[in-house]
Amino acid sequence: MSSDPSSILPPGLAPGLAKTASGIQGLDEITGGGLPRGRPTLVCGSAGCGKTLFALQFLAAGAVSHDEPGVFMAFEEMPEELAQNVRSLGLDLDDLVARGRLVVDYVHVERSEIEETGEYDLEGLFLRLGYAIDSIGAKRVVLDTLESLFGSLGNEAVLRAELRRLFRWLKDRGVTAVITAERGAGALTRHGLEEYVSDCVILLDHRVSEQIATRRLRIVKYRGTPHGTNEYPFLIDSDGIEVLPITSAGLAYAVSTERVSTGVAGLDEMMGGEGYFRGSTVLISGTAGTGKTSLAACFADAACRRGERTLFYTFEESQHQVVRNLRSIGVDLAPWIERGLLRIHAGRPTLHGLETHLARIHRELREWDPQAVVLDPVGSFVAVASPVDVKALMTRLLDLLKERQVTTVLTHLNAGGAPSEQTDFGVSSLVDTWLLLRDLEAAGERNRGLYVLKSRGMAHSNRIREFVISTRGLELVDVCVGPEGVLTGSARVVHQEGGREGTPTPGPRAARERRK
């Protein structure tokens, strides 16, 4: 074994370091397999950050899924609170205890009821824990919250010596332990427990910024295992804690050469005649009213037509509004919703913090496994976070979507007057294909133009085309170049009717469409 294996080996491959599945969704991915097997892990955080739930989930996973019974030693919680906590994970505490999968020991020490009269040690605690472990062959142990002993016993020197001995003892017993501790001012724990636990320290955090709360998890220390030092957002809901692994090494995904229709024949044509790459990320940007949502919806419609599960996030309109508006241009999404192929999620960005949004999307990706996703519009996230944070979120989200081979369409509203070849938070460099919609004003008309600003890995048209929205859907029409420059709308129709050769002729029909 080399002196510093962590520097050369990828996660999970450090020699001699066995891991134990933590039971916490996402955490094992960050840590390359879970918590260090047979060693103590310190989980610290302030009140209400989810420490106890973390610990319970760890035990429950062992007891239910990994044939590793566990001991829960509660220094603070009372039986009812604990049972409630466990019930929130969909488990029955009494049942686990009755089946010998779990031992729960409530340690109750009231300082006022105890007189200290000379030297002592905590051998009683050791015997108690040892007996509990032996009685069910426990492989996992939780001490929640061990530090409260500092409030119960007066002799700190004895306590510190005994805690040091306890952590060594836990290792000797070979149990995988989670010790929870309260966050201290300026230190990880109130009584410096991190000093005794050298293997793995995890910090849980619950922060409120701009009135939006976000939970975050950070691995402060993990001996022998390379780990991200990032803060990872996590959620607490009916399934317990779920950590969102940031796919920091996210450039390793497989790519597809399969093409999928954009939902607009003319646009497919512009993109080598075939459309987007499956699993690629497409940005549609443009000023207000240029048809971004319509174009994205056509893609969703086409995806459903192919039988693909499609997720449509709308951050500015309600589901009904989206469906109604699209029906007016000949795109009917309702049947797809009824058939369960399309899910529209409507919600203001301010409903949750950025991470929570990411977490929810992540969860849905995992559970429903859609093949196509629309986010309309992504720029609205700027309302809840700084552009830097939004870019970080988008990077993570897009990596995640790519990894899952989900074809994704994002829309972005360019503020009037702002340079159109730019997004508020630099998302453009993350996308594979960028379609720009813009107004073309000429001859007293405002028409829509579309061009492909970039499209990685495919031959694509360099032409600006006119983008026509009618009750029958979206159409792309070649613009005409006449002596006066680019002709769109009526000017184009007139020009075409004038018998110009070599232009495809939507001609008179397009003229009718335009004028209604």
Partner 1 sequence: MTAVPADEGCWELRLYVAGQTPRSVTALQNLKRLCEDHLAGRYRIEIVDLLKNPQLARSDQILAIPTLVRKLPAPARKIIGDLSQTERVLLGLDVRPAG
In the complex, the smallest distance separating the C-beta of residue 115 from partner 1, rounded to whole angstroms, is 3
Helix (H) or strand (E) holding 475: strand 473-478
> Judged by CB under 8 A, which stretch of 52-60, 80-88, 103-111, 140-148 contacts partner 1?
103-111
Which member of 92, 94, 123, 237 binds partner 1 (CB under 8 A)? 123
Restricting to residues 136-155, which ones interact with partner 1 according to CB under 8 A?
A: 149, 153
Measured from the CB atom, the residue of 118 and 504 that comes closer to partner 1 is 118
Q: Which is nearer to partner 1, 162 or 475 (CB)?
A: 162
Give how many residues touch partner 1 by CB under 8 A: 24
- Residue number, 108 or 327, with CB nearest to partner 1: 108
116 binds partner 1 (CB under 8 A): yes
Give the pairing of strands 259-260 and 276-277: antiparallel
Are 265 and 51 spatial neighbours (Cβ–Cβ below 8 Å)?
no
Smaller CB separation from partner 1, 120 or 368: 120
Question: Of 6 and 155, which has the nearer Cβ to partner 1?
Answer: 155
157-216: contacts with partner 1 (CB under 8 A) = none
Contact between 115 and partner 1 by CB under 8 A: the answer reads yes
Contact between residue 247 and residue 282 where contact means Cβ atoms under 8 Å apart: no
Q: Does 237 bind partner 1 (CB under 8 A)?
A: no
Sole binder of partner 1 in the list 114, 288, 334, 383 (CB under 8 A): 114
For the CB of residue 182, give the shortest distance to partner 1 in the complex, in Å.
Answer: 19
Contact 438, 290 (CB under 8 A): yes
Least separation in angstroms between CB 113 and partner 1: 6
Tell me: does residue 125 bind partner 1 (CB under 8 A).
yes
Q: With contacts defined by CB under 8 A, name the span among 42-50, 124-132, 398-406, 483-491 that binds partner 1.
A: 124-132
Letters for 416-455 (x = contact with partner 1 by CB under 8 A, - = none) are ----------------------------------------
Is 130 a binding residue for partner 1 by CB under 8 A? The answer is yes
Regarding 121 and contact with partner 1 (CB under 8 A), the answer is yes
Nearest to 443 by CA among 469, 470, 475, 482: 482
Cβ proximity to partner 1, 149 vs 270, nearer residue: 149
Q: Give the residue with the Cβ less far from partner 1, 119 or 367.
A: 119
Tell me if 341 contacts partner 1 by CB under 8 A: no
Token pair 């306890």: residue: 166
- 109 lies in the binding site for partner 1 (CB under 8 A): yes
One of 127, 187, 213, 383 touching partner 1 (CB under 8 A): 127
Q: Per CB under 8 A, which region of 30-38, 111-119, 289-297, 365-373 contacts partner 1? A: 111-119
Q: At 497, give phi and psi (nearest 5°).
A: -70, -20
Helices marked H in 184-318 — which ranges? Answer: 265-270, 292-305
What is residue 241's three-state secondary structure?
Answer: strand
Residues 486, 482: Cα–Cα separation, whole Å: 6
**Among residues 474, 439, 476, which one has the least CA distance to residue 461?**
476
According to CB under 8 A, which one of 105, 195, 239, 513 is a site residue for partner 1?
105
Distance in angstroms (rounded) separating the CA atoms of residues 261 and 429: 23
3-class secondary structure, 158: helix
Instruction: Candidates 119, 172, 338, 367: give the one binding partner 1 (CB under 8 A).
Output: 119
Site string for partner 1, 41-60 (x = CB under 8 A): --------------------
DSSP 190-210: TT-GGGT--SEEEEEEEEEET
DSSP state string for 318-365: -HHHHHHHHHTTT---HHHHHTTSEEEEE--GGGS-HHHHHHHHHHHH
Out of 132, 146, 358, 458, the only residue in the binding site for partner 1 (CB under 8 A) is: 132
Query: Any residues with CB less than 8 A from the CB of 294 and at least 6 apart, and which?
Result: 326, 329, 331, 469, 474
**φ, ψ for residue 393, nearest 5 deg:** -60, -45
- Which residue type, as a one-letter code, is found at position 150? F
| 131 binds partner 1, rule: CB under 8 A | yes
Q: How far, in Å, are 17, 47, 122, 136, 140 from residue 68 at the CA level? A: 18, 28, 27, 9, 7
Q: Taking Cα atoms as reference points, which of 448, 445, 501 lies closest to residue 477?
A: 448
Distance of CA 151 to the CA centre of its chain: 39
Per CB under 8 A, 128 contacts partner 1: yes
Structure tokens that stand for 314 in this block: 């709308």
Residue 129's SS3 state is helix
Decide: is 112 part of the binding site for partner 1 (CB under 8 A): no
Residues in contact with partner 1 by the rule CB under 8 A: 105, 107-109, 113-125, 127-128, 130-132, 149, 153
